[in-house]
Amino acid sequence: MTKLLLRALAGETLPTPPIWMMRQAGRYLPEYRTTRAKAGDFLSLCYNPELAAEVTLQPVRRFGFDAAILFADILLVPQALGADLWFVTGEGPRLSRIRAASDLAALKPADRIHERLAPIYETIRILRRELPAETALIGFAGAPWTVATYMIAGRGSPDQAPAHDLKNNDRASFTALIDLITEATIAYLSRQIEAGAEVVKLFDSWAGSLKGRDFDDFAVEPTRRIIAALKARHPGVPIIAFPREAGQRYIGFAKATGADCVALDNSVSAEWAAAHVQIDGCVQGNLAPQHMVTGGPNLIAEAQRITRAFRGGPHIFNLGHGITPDADPDNVARMIEAVRTA
């Protein structure tokens, strides 16, 4: 039988939606923390195929999710392009910054990333051997705008101001950076598919800070280019796009980019999205991650409300953003039960 996730992505309306969670392999699980300690640090874990495969498999073993998502990080692509990357405990990633055309010129061409990223492809090959037959494997990358925001600021930023400043003051250099990331992302995701990823997802975590023409130029167009190139190389491999906090711009995003599914954050209601976004095909989402912390009757009620709202079309149940480290694993089990009994 075709895997449930692939059926939903092909446009099939299922009586019970397939379920997985963004960041499902992570710090909320004690078994993850044990494995991370063996690796020594986050980047060492990403680049150790056996341990990265192990943490990818852990939530599938524990909860029986319908999909596993490759354990990696969106900032491995900038590192492969030549940026310095390190993680500060308790604060997150740091990168060498792109502030001018001269910084951009020091980066590698997009086709030079694969040697650095070879361990990621090996992780995928391990997972294809070890995942249950019914579990789909999702590969992923950051979308160009979101990756660029980190490369320009050198870290996460609350309003992406450094990236907006470069975009507004030196649009040529900014566009050249977006183009480089776009080509590298095509190369990276194509290799993931060749290694065994059955689905790939583009995470545009900061898409919502782009407005007007900028949203078209730097959220829609790079996504469209990536999807078109991947579809040309790998016909039939479905692609999920996540332009987080796009709001009204979720409408028509699938048609504009060629995405097989649009993932939704929890700032839009399931009922609104069913009426305006699901009419174009599969949607994914969109329970607020805080319910994984608080649990209780509200978790059950919200999970079932979302499931019922999207029942009229293809739907993949997920959170509206990644599960947080303070989440209770027991609430994940309760969420799955609520969706499957809705």
Is 128 labeled as catalytic in the residue annotation? no
Query: Does residue 73 have an active-site annotation?
Result: yes
**Residue 90 pLDDT:** 82
142-182 pLDDT, tens digit each:
999 999 999 999 999 999 999 999 999 999 999 999 999 99
Predicted pLDDT at 89: 82
Q: Check 66, 73, 204, 260 and give the catalytic one.
A: 73
Residue 4 pLDDT > 90: yes
In this structure, what are the phi and psi dihedrals at residue 48, rounded to the nearest 5 degrees? -105, 100
User: What average pLDDT does the segment 301-318 reach?
Assistant: 98
The 10s digit of each residue's pLDDT in 25-53 is 999 999 999 999 999 999 999 999 999 99
In CATH, what is the architecture of 4-340?
Alpha-Beta Barrel (3.20)
Distance CA 148, CA 162 (A): 10
Options 121, 150, 188, 250, the catalytic residue: 150
Token pair for 8: 């939903």
Q: What angle do CA 190, 196, 199 make, to 5 degrees?
A: 70
* pLDDT given at position 342: 93
Over the stretch 48-84, which tens digit does the pLDDT of each residue have?
999 999 999 999 999 999 999 999 999 999 999 999 9
Residue 109 confidence class, pLDDT cut points 50, 70, 90: very high
* pLDDT digits 0-9 by tens, 270-297: 999 999 999 999 999 999 999 999 999 9
User: What is the residue-averaged pLDDT of the chain?
Assistant: 97
Give catalytic status of residue 125 as yes or no.
no
Average pLDDT over residues 237-245: 98
1 pLDDT above the threshold of 80: no
Once rounded to an integer, what is the mean pLDDT over residues 109-122?
A: 98
188 carries an active-site annotation: no
State yes or no: is 170 an active-site residue: no
User: For residue 9, what pLDDT band results from cuts at 50, 70 and 90?
Assistant: very high
Tell me the Cα Rg of the chain. Answer: 19
Domain locations in the chain as residue ranges: 4-340
**pLDDT score for 91:** 87
Beta partners for 94?
A: 86
The one catalytic residue among 7, 28, 32, 36 = 36
